[in-house]
Amino acid sequence: MAKETSFDTAELLLFMGPPGAGKGTQAKLLCEARGLEQLSTGDMLRSHVSEGTELGKKAKAIMDAGELVSDDVIIAMVQAKLEEMQPVRVLFDGFPRTTAQAEALDELLAEASLKIDSVILLEVNEDELVERLLQRAQEQGRDDDTEEVIRNRMKVFHTQTAPLIDYYGQKEDGIKAVDGMGDVAAVSERIAKVLS
Ligand code: AMP
């Protein structure tokens, strides 16, 4: 039976997965279905870049190279966003990406007596990932979707973000792995199932 979702109580979900796994697309759908706000650190950074803020100017070169923006900057950005949310109904997309970010998030949530309800890992094989990202490059023209940068972002994912699979896997509620192959509707059905 589907879990009842009340939109006036806290709910925190976290999406993990390599670049190109479909996190952004699935996050949008899930947010609509559950009345959550999508907190994408990548989107927040891109807004800074397009608005030409100081943070945006510093972040652009790092993003264009497929490297990670510093933990301090990211954590401060997320903290500010969470503080203005009442109730906290959020889906983290592309955050945390390092162990330091995950630990900082745990601390922030503990201070507010909150916890992550579910961590969802979208799994897609590597050939499909590169193909999807190259296609997105054609459609959206993102500066960080060239083949060289895509390969670096994969490497960064494997070295800096993948350890979080264990980090969350060892927690009491664990991690929910979802097959991210196939069309958008099929994947979102699988996600809804693991959350029910
Ligand atoms: P995304 O849209 O999530 O793929 O993010 C695009 C780029 O923004 C990444 O390649 C990083 O350079 C930067 N970025 C986004 N989220 C984070 C994060 N949580 N920590 C560090 N850098 C990030």
Give 124-168 pLDDT, tens digit per residue. Answer: 988 888 888 888 888 887 777 788 888 899 999 999 999 999 999
Instruction: Report whether pLDDT(8) > 70.
Output: yes
State the Cα angle at 148 between 38 and 124, rounded to 5°: 50
d(CA 124, CA 103): 26
Percent of the chain with pLDDT over 70: 97
**Average pLDDT of every residue of the chain:** 92
Q: Provide the strand spans (E) within 51-109.
A: 89-93
Is the entire prediction scored with pTM above 0.85?
A: yes
Alpha carbons 102 and 106: distance in angstroms, whole number:
6
Domain covering 11-44+90-195, topology: Rossmann fold (3.40.50)
Identify the pLDDT of residue 4.
54
Can 132 be counted among the known catalytic residues?
no
Closest ligand 1 atom, residue 95 Cα:
19
Please give the pLDDT value at position 2.
47
User: Is 46 known to be catalytic?
Assistant: no
Sheet holding 118-123, edge to edge: 37-40, 89-93, 11-16, 118-123, 176-179
For ligand 1, mutation pick of 26, 38, 40, 41 (most atoms within 8 Å of CB): 41
Which residue is catalytic, options 60, 89, 97, 176? 97
